Structure 1
Amino acid sequence: MTKSVNPKRGYRSLRRSAQASDTRAAVVSAAHELFVREGWQKATIAAIARQAGVSVETIYAGFGSKLALLKAVVVASVRGLQPETALMDQAGPRTALVAPDQHSQIALFAKDIAEVLRRVAPLIAVVRAAAESEPALKDLYVELHQGRTGNLTMLVDAMLRHGPLRIDRDLAISSLDRLSSPELFLVVTNVEGLSPAQYATWLADALTALLLP
């Protein structure tokens, strides 16, 4: 005879799962704010715990270390409103990859990456600054840029399926990497004063002139 499922136990399990998800989101949000505002050194686990309204032990239990928490914050910022979906599986990047021509691919990419950079570029600046004195942060900084390069390689290869580019594949990848870097985005927006939308327009124009025959 099949045993019936205890509905109360299932409800409690779902509630605990929702609470854990809410707690994690609160910690990530607090960490994001403090890392950007205070920098790597001053944004202590204790300060993040106070901001999130949780214990220090809760953060260590959920993330393991301050470095792992920073990685989680960066990933959450990259993924935006879809935290469980890798960036290249989201609608914005996927649409650019499958667009019917190179001009459309560039325009869609520029619009999407400007929004991603708006969220994540300040955090990358935190990692870069800390990397000057923290070997683990230097490794993370390199890892993040290698991940970017891998994603951008997918775009260049998708563009090449529609025909040749003005420059060769490797130079196209490195040029795309530089022009859409978090560092350049911050110069353009924070120093020159362009909005993310204006940056997207400039990026699309620059990539069109550089890459397309």
Structure 2
Amino acid sequence: MNTPVKGLRAAKVAETQERILEAARALFVRDGYHATALTAVADRARVGHRTVYVRFGSKAALLRRVVDVAVAGDAGQRDVREREWFQAALTGRALADRVDALVVGTADLMERAGDLFEVVLQAQASEPELAEAFQASRTATRELMQRFVRTARADGLLAEVADAVWQEETAALAGQAETYLLLRRTTGWANEQYRDWLRRTLEEVLAPA
């Protein structure tokens, strides 16, 4: 098969997958996990019912992929630690630059994926695959936030503190998806208010040198 034909086929496959993911996101957010059928996703995406099953295998796997794309911001395979905003949070010249990069990146992620995190939370009781994935996400977030704090400390940007573990764990808790969801439910804050809260929290937890 010649290269142009391969390219056209790959583009069609990618376009079909994008339609499926967009349809799934809309239905999961609107109707919830349990009320969303894969056949309904296929109909909204204008593809055959079998296409969704062949591409994703199960509803849980489809939701996982929708969440992964929302978290990353695109369909690429790079995870958060490889994204430009997180790298900027590790390498900025001043602590304020690093905090700003982390806050903007985290708040944008929550804005993209927050509604989907709610869907996962409602589904995980009956879907062990989703419960396991969400727990892995909690662990990954904690590790990323700890890395952020430890890197800033190693680079001489933080003052000495009596309890470095408290500092790391408090920053890690501030960056968790469930912290964002709890604030959204209890305060009704918009994303901009969450962003301001996260910046102030990190600034107060991370005593600058």
Same fold (TM over 0.5): yes
Unmatched 5+ stretches in structure 2: none
* Alpha carbons 1:130, 1:137 under 8 Å: kept: yes
1:181 aligns with 2:176: yes
1:79 aligns with 2:72: yes
The structure 2 residue matched to 1:25, chosen from 1, 12, 18, is: 18
CA distance in 2 between partners of 1:32 and 1:42 (Å):
13
CA 1:82 to 1:22, structure 2 compared with 1: closer, same or farther past 3 Å?
closer
CA RMSD of aligned residues (A): 2.0
* Alpha carbons 1:101, 1:159 under 8 Å: kept: no
- Residue 211 of structure 1 deviates from its aligned partner by 2.2
The structure 1 residue matched to 2:111, chosen from 115, 118, 126, is: 118
The structure 1 residue matched to 2:99, chosen from 96, 106, 118, is: 106
CA distance in 2 between partners of 1:184 and 1:125 (Å):
12
* Alpha carbons 2:145, 2:175 under 8 Å: kept: no
2:203 corresponding residue in structure 1: 208
Unmatched 5+ stretches in structure 1: 1-5
1:197 corresponding residue in structure 2: 192
CA distance in 1 between partners of 2:77 and 2:134 (Å):
22
Within a 5 Å distance, the mapping from 1:20-169 to structure 2 comes to 20-81=13-74, 83-163=76-156, 164=158, 166=161, 168-169=163-164
Q: Deviations over 1:66-117 (max 9, x none)?
A: 2221111111001114634322222111111101132321222111100001
* Alpha carbons 2:81, 2:144 under 8 Å: kept: yes
Percent of counterpart pairs with the same letter? Answer: 25
1:3 corresponding residue in structure 2: none
- Count of residues in Structure 1 that have an aligned counterpart in Structure 2: 206
In structure 1, give the amino acid aligned to 2:94: D
Larger Rg: 1
CA distance in 1 between partners of 2:26 and 2:172 (Å):
27
* Alpha carbons 1:87, 1:93 under 8 Å: kept: yes
Secondary structure of 1:114 counterpart = helix
Query: Could you tell me the TM-score, scaled by structure 1's length?
Result: 0.87
